[in-house]
A and B are shown apart, each in its own frame.
Chain A
Amino acid sequence: MRPIEIRDVSLIYETPAGNVPGVQSVSFQIAASEFVCIVGPSGCGKSTLLNIIAGFLTPTVGEIRIDGKAVTGQGQDRGVVFQDFAQLFPWRTALGNVAFGLEMQGMEKNRRETIAMEQLGLVKLEKFAQSYPHHLSGGMQQRVAIARALAYNPAVLLMDEPFAALDALTRDDMQRLLADVWRKTRKTVIYVTHNVAEAVYLADRVVVMTPHPGTVKTEVLIRLPRPRDPLSVEFLDYQRQLLQHLGQHAAAG
């Protein structure tokens, strides 16, 4: 397992109205197998930062290192789950979607389908292996997307508000499922959300970002045993603490 370093990363958007800093001088490290949530209001640059780590955007300054090696562009050392259900390939079954990354590695059909089936088992969707995405619910589609991102065994899983478009009950189920998947795989995860309760439920550590410009305001370690009880006093304390960090900014801004 490999640690990740974000070193002094800045990205400036060039717009007709002038240069707008998306993120400014962001630095932090993520240990191997750590689950890190990045929280912040919209416009704080959290998704921009994730897109830089994924290789979709190139930072104006700074670099990302995975296991000491600077990353450029996209690559199989990272798995990405987006918010939009439409991320799955509609012309492939659930199994075909999950096997895609392995297929790109040139793995032979039987082997990659065996592995893809195991991954679908991890998100409890073996029964739907032959279903096309449009026959699956939003929550199921996101589970397929998680299995797809894990199937080729990347060093880190990047998740951009994967459950934000789900209804509240499904979201709770999905959070439990993700916590379970993480416990089993011990994958390094960087998870972007604007939902404070979700961050406290999932993360080892929460990175709080604030906008204009997008910078890291503080970090909060969540020292709670798992599985976590969202109604416990300690849980609510962490939630309040995070909200204060975010709220202070709102008051100042």
Chain B
Amino acid sequence: MTNASVHIRSARRAAITLLFAAAVYETLARSGIFAAALLPTLPQVAQTLVAMLVDGTMVWHVAYTLYRVIFGFSLAVAVGVPLGILMGRFRAVENFFLPLASALMPIPSLAWVPVFILWFGIGNTTTILIVFYAATFPMLLNAWSGVRAVNPLWLRAAGVMGASERRLFWKVIVPGASPFIITGLRQAFLRAWIAVVGAEMLAASNWGLGWTIFDAKEFLNADVMLASLAVIGCIGFIFERLVFGSLERITVIRWGMMRAAKD
């Protein structure tokens, strides 16, 4: 089977599932069992979404949320990858940071929101730091595992060929650990995306997808809430499939270090 036909088939299957779910929802919404204001029909939600896109408010909400998530996620990558690699390379670094990671990791990032609000106030600083907190641990742990999974033969071969510790890091350890690092990026982004919406509900004002949902509750705008949820789902899907999926295809799958998913 060709690649294209596999894609079409999986897209068709996904469409069937989504259409079915939409049909169930639409039936419920129109049945009159629930108040219309609480369960708007899909055309109403779509109308609201279009209106919010046209007047630009949705674009700004998305922009704020993306800014926070990308900022926090980038910080998490900048800290998690080097620290994870150092932990995998040096016992002393591992001994020092592993207990810290083990202690902090089980604390849900949202539990920190009230604390961070006290420290940093409401706004970007707190939301970005919550994202950073949520994304750092999956990044760190995957980088750490990745280094320990690097084939020792690559290190030997590179050592014989005169690689310095710095070159070893960039030219052997990072690419050698890349299947784990990419998995870490994926998991970290997912956590970041979940955390940003929650953090915005509690610690943002005026802008952001999470904030919109929380704010809409005050005015019983269920259509705005559902429209925002749809946008959150779509952006998450785009990152998961297009950004990280493509990254995987042009690196570890091309290098034969990881197989593409079987249909």
Contact = CB atoms under 8 A, between A and B. Distances in A.
- A and B found bound together: yes
Interface of A: 54-56, 74-76, 78-80, 82, 84, 86-87, 89-91, 100-101, 103-105, 132-135, 148-149, 152
A99 to B, nearest CB: 10
Given A84-B153, A89-B154, A89-B175, A135 B256 contact: yes
B90 interface: no
A75 B162 CA distance: 6
A165 to B, nearest CB: 13
Given A86-B153, A87-B153, A100 B255 contact: no
A132 B255 contact: yes
Interface string B29-58: 000000000000000000000000000000
Interface of B: 151, 153-154, 156-164, 167, 171-172, 175-176, 178, 251, 254-257
Given A82-B153, A104-B167, A90 B161 contact: no
A91 B255 contact: yes
Contacts of A152: 161-162
A79 B175 contact: no
5 contacts: A55-B159, A76-B162, A91-B176, A134-B255, A148-B157
Contacts of B256: 90, 132-135
A89 B172 contact: yes
Given A87-B154, A133-B256, A134-B256, A80 B160 contact: yes
Chain B interface SS verdict (over half): helix
Given A89-B157, A90-B255, 14 more contacts: A75-B160, A76-B162, A79-B160, A80-B156, A82-B156, A89-B154, A89-B172, A90-B256, A91-B255, A101-B161, A104-B158, A104-B163, A104-B167, A132-B256
B149 to A, nearest CB: 12
Contacts of A89: 154, 157, 172, 175-176
B255 to A, nearest CB: 5
Contacts of A90: 255-257
B257 A80 contact: no
A78 B160 contact: yes
B164 to A, nearest CB: 8
A143 to B, nearest CB: 15
B160 A100 contact: no
B151 A100 contact: no
B225 to A, nearest CB: 45
Nearest to B156: A56
Given A82-B153, A89-B172, A91-B251, A100 B158 contact: yes
Nearest to A151: B161
A152 B162 CA distance: 10
